Structure 1
């Protein structure tokens, strides 16, 4: 007997659409970024393939760079015996970061294929899909395949695929958020810092509000917007922005997501919180699928890296099922079913 599955699914889609609340934030599934025989770890970036990078301290007290593909950890080791801090990863799996050599100071590094490549003195902070790396030594620096460019007296933090760069500089002891476009350095905001820029040129970071607190800030074609906090008088900051203008960061109480006109406390929208002393403290990175790299404490109060993966709302599923109603149903109908 043939079942009329499609009509039933259409009915389910309508029911889910009726039950869905458009004001409710998506839930997230939490994945703990574990390393065998390691009590603590941290994460600093995530790419569109769901790969994330960070650090973990082994039983012998040595901190190693770690690459996670999903929940599977790969130890990328150290550089000449020195701890490596990876801070960016692109979709090709290239990683940028730095190591502090005890006798030689900081070295900017990039991981390609199977090992660390020394870019020279400095701190690598950001990387784009073309493998361009930005950071700073005494001055802002852009490392490309065949050149090193002096960006001037500022600290570069992030770069998009068009080569636009953001960061901050100091004047009279105060930070000033800056952007480089076509090689021209422009001030964005006194008493501010810029950390990330997306393909549309939208920039996030932090700036001082009228009440004196630093708050998460968005700069775009419409101007400057303070993204706010979850309470009065709180400090907040924004670390990353994707092409959907979803922004991640933190405030005094924990990790935050800003999406659309909503500010979301990420600790309140977890489908599987681990319990105990677990708490998300900082949301560090976000990819185009809405996956978030975050740092928090685990159930035993150790620092740990996490990846948060969005779970579709009932309304999203309703759209999928509703679409089935528009599909033609082929074949002859069995009148006995």
Structure 2
């Protein structure tokens, strides 16, 4: 739809964040102090506010999750004694985020907020994205410091631990999910982050799927979102400098499935290879595009 949400800082206090929507060359204020985190295809926006603007009674540290829809902004949590932030929204108006301390993942649906809980043995969780099937992704951990585990939630299965790319990784976090149930995120340590793609019950390191000689020195570190066409955005490093990237699938080629579990194909420079995502005899390639 070409719409963008963000916030503009007013003054030097660091707390007066004016939330806005940008569309068609025009920036429109939502009318509150806060940070919008997501927008759906209908232009509905969710985020977090610490008061001010149209919600003068809210005051830090008691923030609230907001929903902007059809020109009206409302607070979606009835309990104002805990901090709430909404991080994701789907095209059905369902939203996800965190609340409380220690934080818990929540799902908002038609006026009802559901605590999604944690993985077994954990004390905190956060929900970051939701697809149109109501599947939710995020992380769950014991302390919330360097120990989170990526999860996938559905109403039928509850929270499912997606694991980590390596046993030596300290944490993993799932940040995006599409309507095919494909999940992207990161796994590792703060000094050694690796992006992952979860599909068909398998966790892949995106860096391992780069065709030899086609990476142009690009090391992928974070995968943030994936759309229904399989395009992935995130961050990586080129010659020690961080840049945003866009991975775009460009072809599908029929091949025999090798014993390694996914086909390695030879394409031209600048191409990333994906594993077979839906049918075992096919694989997709994607162009990597740098965004400064």
State the TM-score, normalized to the length of structure 1. Answer: 0.62
Whether 1:225 aligns to 2:160 is yes
Displacement after TM superposition at 1:250 (Å): 0.3
Displacement after TM superposition at 1:234 (Å): 2.5
Distance 2:201 2:104 in 1: 27
Aligned position for 1:62: none
Displacement after TM superposition at 1:184 (Å): 0.9
- Provide, for residues 278-309 of structure 1, a one-character-per-residue CA deviation record: whole Å limited to 9, x for no partner: 311100110111010010111x2111011112
SS at match of 1:126: strand
Displacement after TM superposition at 1:102 (Å): 2.1
The structure whose RCO (Cα within 8 Å, separation 6+) is larger is 1
Displacement after TM superposition at 1:98 (Å): 1.4
Q: Which has the larger radius of gyration?
A: 1
Alpha-carbon RMSD across the aligned residues, in angstroms, is 2.4
| CA 1:146–1:316: 2 relative to 1, 3 Å | farther
Displacement after TM superposition at 1:209 (Å): 6.3
Whether 1:96 aligns to 2:96 is no
List runs of 5+ in structure 2 lacking aligned partners: 50-62, 78-82, 119-123, 257-292
Aligned position for 1:249: 185
SS at match of 1:314: strand
Could you tell me whether the CA contact under 8 Å between 1:209 and 1:215 is conserved in 2? no
Give 1:164-175 correspondences, 5 Å limit: 164-171=94-101, 174-175=102-103
SS at match of 1:227: strand
Distance 1:163 1:186 in 2: 15
Displacement after TM superposition at 1:311 (Å): 4.6
Give 1:1-337 correspondences, 5 Å limit: 92-103=1-12, 105-120=16-31, 121-137=33-49, 138-152=63-77, 153-171=83-101, 174-190=102-118, 191-208=124-141, 213-220=147-154, 221-232=156-167, 233-252=169-188, 253-271=193-211, 272-275=214-217, 278-298=218-238, 300-315=239-254
Distance 2:11 2:171 in 1: 34
- Provide, for residues 160-204 of structure 1, a one-character-per-residue CA deviation record: whole Å limited to 9, x for no partner: 111100000122xx1111111111111112410000000000000
Displacement after TM superposition at 1:310 (Å): 2.6
Count of residue pairs the alignment pairs up: 223
Distance 1:96 1:189 in 2: 29
State the TM-score, normalized to the length of structure 2. Answer: 0.71
Displacement after TM superposition at 1:154 (Å): 1.1
- Provide, for residues 22-56 of structure 1, a one-character-per-residue CA deviation record: whole Å limited to 9, x for no partner: xxxxxxxxxxxxxxxxxxxxxxxxxxxxxxxxxxx
List runs of 5+ in structure 1 lacking aligned partners: 1-91, 318-337
